[in-house]
Amino acid sequence: MKAWFDQLAPRERLTLIVGATVALPLLFYVLVWGPIKRDTNTLEQAVAAQRDTLAWMQSAAAEVMNLRAQGAQAPQQASGGGSLLSIVNQMAQRHELAGTIQRMNPQGERAIELQLTGANFDRFVTWLGELESSHGITVSSLTLNRTAQPGQVDIRLTLERPA
């Protein structure tokens, strides 16, 4: 390599030295520094997004704890009116789930077994939340199966009202 370099004319040697002086830092930037900088920025953005998610989760957890504390007191006050069967039926109609109920089997005075087919999942979850918050009715068993329709599920559940 040295022999080849010594064989070059002085002008060619100068051109080669200047070209190498420009090309090496450029190659270093393109192949090493640029990717490192790009990946660092990407990771910084991911960390910021994770911090935002963590803050949201912490505030949601605090809200859940507050609602649980309020919910533990509210059902005792509100659970007195109506039979379990009538409350469940009225609330299902209000949440447009009555048409999906295939079977309602009372299990004594304090429990009821239900089977719903093709129920809207979002309405179902809202319905359960209102049953618990307004009437103290809780789920003792639950089986969900997704259907071919997005957002719809087949459900088997047992609801109970505390004594």
pLDDT at 75: 47
Tell me how far apart the alpha carbons of residues 54 and 79 are, in angstroms, rounded to a whole number.
Answer: 36
Question: What six digits make up the tokens of 131?
Answer: 């049953």
pLDDT in tens, 71-119: 655 544 444 557 888 888 888 999 898 889 999 888 888 899 999 999 9
pLDDT at 9: 93
162 SS3 class: coil
The residue type found at 104 is M
**Residue 61: burial class (beta carbons within 10 Å; 0-12, 13-18, 19+):** exposed
CA separation (Å) from 36 to 18, 24, 44, 123?
27, 17, 12, 48
Per the prediction, the chain carries an average pLDDT of 88
Region 121-148: mean pLDDT is: 90
pLDDT at 71: 65
pLDDT at 73: 56
